[in-house]
Amino acid sequence: MAIATSLRTGNGLENFPDSQTGERAVGLRLEGIEKTFGSNRVLRGIDLEVPAGQFVAVVGKSGCGKSTLLRILMGLDHHTGGQLSFHSADGTETTANGRIVFQEPRLLPWFDVADNVAVGLGEGVQAAEGRAKARVALNEVQLSEKAKEWPSKLSGGQRQRVALARALVSKPNFLALDEPLGALDALTRISMQQLLSRVWREQGFTAVLVTHDVSEAVHLADRVIVLDEGRISRDIAVPHPHPRKHGLAELSELEGELLATILGGHSY
């Protein structure tokens, strides 16, 4: 398994493709993935196949192994058993150009917005070229007018859009999302969900989202995985076209089904 994970490395960006086919995306294959910390067995034989271009959400109680799984996918942690591989759309094993967006935007306060985004291109990029590519990425997240602002002047939602632009500027074929909207207020969160859905549909990368918000999971994902004590307890498809409107009755039914699974069979 090989994956480029650093927030500071990546190839250049000319223009984002207007594609929903996932042609540049990678598929993921996990076979018996285990992770132990001393005597604590956090992941207990995870088997999962994610086709190239799919959006998968991972939900479950705190401590069930969600973030550990995401860190392993990104190469930020190592599994202690099993096999992890990435595949192109035609099934050929390949290297993933992966990026991650965390709950905290982790912006550099001494850089303006454009330079924070350009960090995602890594070293060796000329300043003017980096800022030009950063402006393209900022336009994709509807924040081009803030290119010269300092992070301290931005709202929470705007800072998270900058973090998303930084992850996207290197044209990733796999994007990991670790509770990226968890610190936002309800209305900003909905707006960010719509933005994330649009960017995913336009750019065609594979996405794996870890979230505690079941509503967010069914709104964004093609498929929702429920983890329970380090194992996959449910794998539920969300058979509704994108983009999705909030409040759809069919999605509410899925939310109830997922909550019943997570909370031990109780109906809500």
Tokens at 165, concatenated: 């632009």
Separation CA 196–CA 259 (nearest Å): 23
Cα 215 → chain centroid: 16
Domains plus CATH for the chain?
A: 3-108+174-262 (3.40.50.300)
CB atoms within 10 A of CB 49: 11
Q: Yes or no: say if 221 and 57 are a contact pair by the CB < 8 Å rule.
A: yes
50: its two tokens: 């994610």
pLDDT in tens, the chain (268 residues): 334 333 322 322 223 333 344 567 999 999 999 999 998 999 999 999 999 999 999 999 988 899 999 999 999 999 999 999 999 988 889 989 999 999 999 999 999 999 999 999 988 888 889 999 999 999 999 999 999 999 999 999 999 999 999 999 999 999 999 999 988 898 999 999 999 999 999 999 999 999 999 999 999 999 999 999 999 999 999 999 999 988 888 898 899 999 998 987 544 4
State pTM to two decimals: 0.87
Cα-only R_g, the chain = 18
Q: Which DSSP state fits 104?
A: S
Q: In angstroms, rounded to a whole number, what is the distance separating the alpha carbons of residues 231 and 144?
A: 42
